[in-house]
């Protein structure tokens, strides 16, 4: 039988082209590479998909100029110095990283890669590009008049980071374990923020992007598992060990999580499925406990971003299948997002998820959704999970 012809995707990723499979062109990581846990990278042609309003000239021009007018203004950009590897945009992003993002995520300056005396060996090209990409994403949210400009550069820098990462193919060693871990963690949080803030469509569309993020983020756990014995002997070791102990489940569930788990047990879903849901609920409780115990904003933000990595990878498949119990657990996680709704990383995403899940499941699941809707309807945060 003749082989079925492969339908080409013109702007597909390099890995899909190499394997001769159709790419869905999702960026920064396509679905094929996310599912197969491959490193995904795009050539420079993929950047031409950006709106013309933020592509007034060459890439060099774009990197050195910023449109002061709205995105719809097609006025020409001023000339720029060609082939300049470092430009004023990079300086601005670096400054924003250290003056704003650092004070949010690490106000005590305890993380080596954001410390004043950081080790230059940690600053590998793929990590630098991703850190600047994350900074650009932050500015795209904080500067709405320049949202398109900064969001484009966030995508471009992240694409560069992934391409460099793919080409260099770094192995997990004592020298590379810290930049590898920070790169994977920053990439995951970047994708989470992009999924939560720049939503398109309704719940099914959101779930598709969230599951995509979820699969990529689990690469962080893969790197951590490989590098754990090495990280212990690095400057990250003490804070990493503390974090590992912090999110260990204590064996005690609060009223809300216990009630949710009781409902799941009574649903008779089978031992395997119930076990995955149990792990998700216990992880949710661990994060909520950290938030309540420490009552510090940066610790709470870290806890909210930690929950997805505590899950079994199969939980993402249950979300993709829109299993009701998985959606209810996601809605309970959205309560944590809603608590930190004034933080730029999450915004109104918690309220969106709770409303969408409630509407999707309908009245027959109303009892399961009591607590998320109570949180949404209250001006104050309902504390106990």
pLDDT tens, position by position, 325-383: 999 999 999 999 999 999 999 999 999 999 999 999 999 999 999 999 999 987 555 45
Homologous superfamily (CATH) of 1-49 is Zn(2)-C6 fungal-type DNA-binding domain (4.10.240.10)
pLDDT at 49 (0 to 100): 31
CB atoms within 10 A of CB 102: 17
What token pair was written down for 366?
């109303």
What token pair was written down for 163?
């391409």
CA 350/CA 362 separation, integer angstroms: 18
pLDDT at 110 (0 to 100): 59
What token pair was written down for 10?
């013109």
Domain boundary assignment for the chain: 1-49, 57-66+85-236, 244-377
- Give yes or no for residue 100 having a pLDDT over 50: yes
Q: Are 324 and 365 in contact (CB under 8 A)?
A: yes
Q: Are 157 and 137 in contact (CB under 8 A)?
A: no
pLDDT at 178 (0 to 100): 83
Identify the CA nearest to 215 among candidates 79, 363, 351, 314: 314
Q: Residue 302, class by beta-carbon neighbours within 10 Å (0-12 exposed, 13-18 middle, 19+ buried)? A: buried
- Give yes or no for residue 114 having a pLDDT over 60: no
Which range has the worst mean pLDDT, 20-24, 167-171, 258-262, 313-317? Answer: 20-24
What token pair was written down for 229?
């014995």
pLDDT tens, position by position, 33-73: 776 656 676 643 333 333 323 333 333 222 323 333 333 33
């Amino acid at each position: 039988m003749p082989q079925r012809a492969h339908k080409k995707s013109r702007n597909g990723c390099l890995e899909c082209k190499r394997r001769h499979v159709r790419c869905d062109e999702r960026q920064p990581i396509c679905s094929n590479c996310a599912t197969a846990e491959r490193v995904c990278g795009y050539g420079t042609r993929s950047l031409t998909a950006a709106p013309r309003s933020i592509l007034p000239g060459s890439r060099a021009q774009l990197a050195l100029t910023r449109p002061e007018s709205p995105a719809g203004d097609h006025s020409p950009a001023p000339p720029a110095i060609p082939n300049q590897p470092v430009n004023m945009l990079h300086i601005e992003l670096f400054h924003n990283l250290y003056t704003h993002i650092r004070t949010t995520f690490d106000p005590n300056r305890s993380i080596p890669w954001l410390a004043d005396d950081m080790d230059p060996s940690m600053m590998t090209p793929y990590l630098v590009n991703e850190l600047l990409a994350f900074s650009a994403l932050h500015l795209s949210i904080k500067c709405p008049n320049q949202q398109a400009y900064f969001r484009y550069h966030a995508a471009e820098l992240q694409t560069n980071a992934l391409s460099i990462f793919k080409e260099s193919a770094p192995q997990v060693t004592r020298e590379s374990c810290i930049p590898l871990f920070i790169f994977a963690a920053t990439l995951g949080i970047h994708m989470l923020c992009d999924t939560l803030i720049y939503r398109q469509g309704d719940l099914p569309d959101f779930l598709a992007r969230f599951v995509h993020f979820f699969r990529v983020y689990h690469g962080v756990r893969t790197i951590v598992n490989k590098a754990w014995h090495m990280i212990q002997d690095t400057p990250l070791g003490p804070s990493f060990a503390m974090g590992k102990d912090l999110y260990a489940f204590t064996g005690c569930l609060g009223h809300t999580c216990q009630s949710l788990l009781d409902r799941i047990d009574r649903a008779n879903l089978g031992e395997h499925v119930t076990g995955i849901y149990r792990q998700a609920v216990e992880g949710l409780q661990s994060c909520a406990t950290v938030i309540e115990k420490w009552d510090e904003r940066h610790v709470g933000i870290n806890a909210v971003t930690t929950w997805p990595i505590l899950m079994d990878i199969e939980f993402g498949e249950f979300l993709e299948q829109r299993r009701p119990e998985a959606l209810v657990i996601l809605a309970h996680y959205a309560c944590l997002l809603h608590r930190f709704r004034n933080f730029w990383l999450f915004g109104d995403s918690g309220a969106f998820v709770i409303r969408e899940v409630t509407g999707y499941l309908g009245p027959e699941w109303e009892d399961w959704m009591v607590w998320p809707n109570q949180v949404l309807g209250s001006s104050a945060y309902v504390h106990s999970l």
